[in-house]
Amino acid sequence: MPEGRYPVSLHPMLRRLILLALLLMPTAGKAGDASEVQRRLDTAWAHFRDAFYQSEADHPDPAATGAALKAFLAAWSGLLPSLEGRIPPPPFPQDQDIPAEMRQIAVIARQAADQTAAGQLPDAHSSLYRIRAILADQRRRNDITSYDDLLDGFDEKLAEADDGDFGQAELTADQFVRLCEQLGVLAWLAEQLEKRAPRALQDDQDFFRRIEGVARQVTAVKTALLEGQSAAVIAALQALRRDFASFYFLYG
């Protein structure tokens, strides 16, 4: 991925893991180590986000996914030796699972890389979902609030909405009711994604243009839903997923 091509937003969970890694390091050379750890974490998360996006079903790219996973593993594996056999300090004083979970993330990422190489891109994407779920669980366990919780919530609810059986030309009553409920949640989440924009993005006009585009696509799905035609709903959901996938890739 060319340097500077995408804005890098360090995952809040990883920001705290920077502190974890730094406090575990020897005192000598700590300033240089701090810079190296942060560089690896920034790079790792950017490549994870790249792999997650490139493995999406709407725009699958096995070659790009494989390259991103290789780069992610190279950056991530550099963090593991400093955590071996250690108990994390604050902000995770009681959370002894963090080091093991970081190693688990590397194992899952290697599995995703193997799946990608074997042509099993949907399985690789599912593996990357597992990594994201581990990070989300770490935040919940340690009472850490993150913008990524909103992003993950939107993505999961959108997956539910996009998981319906639209084989018939017209929507059934059950499909209509279920989609209405899911779209209500998606509309609220889109609003929260804009209202709770990270401080670093408060003046980023492209950020607001993109999230407003996601909100408009939610409205477009509602409009298609009122028509009651499966084809219109499918097309609107696909457009929403494309817009949100791009937004998540850039700002997740």
Per the model's pLDDT, the better-predicted residue between 29 and 82 turns out to be: 82
Give the tens place of pLDDT for each residue, 137-150.
877 887 777 787 88
Token digits of residue 244: 């949100």
Task: Report the helix count and the strand count for the chain, using DSSP H and E.
Answer: 9, 0
Residue 11 CA from chain centroid, whole number: 9
Mean pLDDT (the chain, rounded): 79
Give the tens place of pLDDT for each residue, 194-232.
998 888 888 899 999 999 999 999 999 999 998 888 888
Roughly what angle, to the nearest 10 degrees, separates helices 121-141 and 30-54? 130
Give the tens place of pLDDT for each residue, 22-64.
444 444 334 444 455 556 667 787 888 889 888 887 778 999 9
CA dihedral 88, 93, 95, 96 (to 10 degrees): 40
CA quadruple 156, 161, 164, 166: dihedral sign: negative
**CA–CA separation, 75 and 39 (whole Å):** 9
Domains along the chain with CATH numbers: 12-141 (1.20.120), 147-251 (1.20.120.10)
Could you tell me what percentage of the chain is helix, strand and coil, using 3-state DSSP and rounding each to the nearest 5?
75, 0, 25
Per the model's pLDDT, the better-predicted residue between 158 and 45 turns out to be: 158
Q: What pLDDT is attached to residue 111?
A: 96
Average pLDDT over residues 11-17: 56
pTM value surpassing 0.75? no
Per the model's pLDDT, the better-predicted residue between 14 and 131 turns out to be: 131
Q: What pLDDT is attached to residue 87?
A: 53
Least confident of 24-28, 41-45, 129-133, 185-189: 24-28
Token digits of residue 62: 């096995």
Residue found by looking up tokens 């006009």 in the block: 205
Helix (H) or strand (E) holding 74: helix 62-77
Q: What pLDDT is attached to residue 19?
A: 52
